[in-house]
Each structure stands twice: as C-alpha cells, then as structure tokens.
C-alpha cells in the first residue's frame, strides 16, 4: 500500500529505527511469511527475541536477513559456493546457512 508515494514501510522507518535502537523486537513481512526480528548486534534484543520465540539461547539458530553478499561477510563465513549462489539468486527467496563470525 502506498500513500502519497511512500510505502507503509518508508512511512514508519524512523519509528522502526528508534525501536531497534532501544533493544526492540519488530514484526515484519517477507515474500513468503511474516517474521519477528531484532538487531543481531544487540544481545538484549536477541535475548528478548529468543524469549518471545520460546527458545533457549544457543539451542537452535535464528535466520538473519542480509542485504547481500557483503553484508553476509560482515557476520558469517561465506565460502566460494555460497558466494556464487548468493550473487546469482539474491535478492530473492534463497536461504543459505552459514557459520557466524559475530
């Protein structure tokens, strides 16, 4: 939905940024499903997210959405095959499981 040329997300980006900066957890829509998320660099927010999802820390991984290969490299080990797949199919609905470096 757009209002005066701005998408609903664009209208709320300031509020979303403030929420994330204050250890917040957000709900968001993707192509395939709705999700909840937070900053992976905020341990307080990650703990809150795990509690909401009723998961004990470290027991199961969480998906991390990145903007591309360079963003993935900042947080994970991206091997040659993963890089080729990401460059070919991202952006798009392809999940690649990588070991985190953060």
Same domain, 41 and 79: no
Residue 35 has pLDDT above 50, yes or no: yes
28's CB contacts (< 8 A; 6+ apart) are: 34, 35, 36, 37
Query: pLDDT-derived band of residue 95, with 50, 70 and 90 as boundaries?
Result: very high
Residues 66-78 pLDDT 10s: 889 999 999 999 9
Same domain as 39, residue 4: yes
Q: What's the CA gap between 8 and 3, in Å, rounded? A: 7
> Same domain, yes or no, for 45 and 4?
yes
**Confidence (pTM):** 0.72
85 shares a domain with 49: no
pLDDT 10s digits, 43-73? 999 999 999 988 876 667 788 888 899 999 9
Q: Are residues 49 and 93 in the same domain?
A: no
Cβ(64)–Cβ(75) below 8 Å = yes
């Amino acid at each position: 939905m757009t209002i005066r040329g701005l998408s609903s997300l664009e209208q709320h980006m300031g509020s979303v940024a403030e929420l994330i900066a204050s250890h917040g957890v957000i709900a968001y829509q993707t192509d395939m499903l709705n999700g909840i998320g937070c900053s992976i660099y905020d341990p307080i927010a990650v703990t809150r997210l795990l509690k909401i999802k009723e998961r004990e820390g470290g027991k199961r991984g969480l998906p991390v959405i990145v903007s591309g290969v360079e963003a993935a490299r900042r947080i994970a080990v991206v091997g040659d095959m993963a890089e080729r797949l990401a460059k070919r199919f991202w952006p798009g609905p392809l999940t690649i499981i990588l070991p985190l470096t953060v």
